[in-house]
Amino acid sequence: MKIFQEKEISQPAFTLVEIIIVIGIFVGLVSATIANYRTGSHQSQLRLAAQELATNIRLAQSYAIGSKDFVDPNGSDHTSQSPQGGWGVYASLDNPNYYQIVVDLDNDHVVDKSFRQINLPNNVVIDQIEDNSGTVNAGIVFFKPPEPQTFINGQAGNQITFTLKDQVGATTSQVIVNFFGLVEVKQNE
């Protein structure tokens, strides 16, 4: 006579199919997270570049309001000059990876000297420049002291739009300067 009977105890466990399904779901979630992170990273670089361009346009404007003297960083004598035509920002589609803060020393609304070159982040370029006449190859915004009066591509009463593009995500941002010198950034998703 058996005092104790042995019972078959079945312990719950996962089957091989269930484990493979869980691993597949996990891999899918990780892949989606990484893809989302990369997309977000490119969009934040584009936003940052557009905000930096707007900030540099406002910086040129404040230099004009303050009648800041220009000291040529590449000049040998480093004497300062008062830019009669003011301070500005210049961008060209010929060099879409950077733009420059510039001065107009003789009030002819043409770039005389470059003060600083600002490089755009990797994969962000100046994609398009438009003023009142349409699409142009280069754009320049000058702020003539002391008001400052705004000149866009040599004209008062003009507006300009710089379109920056993220080459990876194909998204764009626009920096718009109107004839009053107001700067606006538009994010295009």
Q: pLDDT tens for residues 123-142? A: 999 999 999 999 999 999 99
Residue 154 lies in a domain: yes
Report the C-alpha gap between 183 and 64 in whole angstroms.
15
Q: Please, which residues have CB within 8 angstroms of residue 166's CB and are 6 or more apart in sequence?
A: 42, 43, 45, 46, 123, 124, 172
Residue 22 is predicted with a pLDDT of 79
Report the C-alpha gap between 64 and 151 in whole angstroms.
12
Helices (H), the chain: 16-65
Residue 1 lies in a domain: no
Domain of residue 145: give its range: 30-188
Residue 10 lies in a domain: no
Residue 4 lies in a domain: no
Residue 16 lies in a domain: no
Residue 10 is predicted with a pLDDT of 66
Structural domain tally of the chain? 1
What are the 10-residue block averages of pLDDT along the chain, 189 residues in total?
A: 63 77 79 65 83 95 90 70 91 96 92 93 94 94 90 92 90 93 87
Residue 78 is predicted with a pLDDT of 57
Burial of 3 (0-12, 13-18, 19+ CB in 10 A): exposed
Cβ atoms within 10 Å of 90's Cβ, excluding its own: 19
At position 85, the amino acid (one-letter code) is G
Residue 2 lies in a domain: no
CATH number reported for the structural domain that contains residue 42 in this entry: 3.55.40.10
Residue 169 lies in a domain: yes
Residue 14 lies in a domain: no
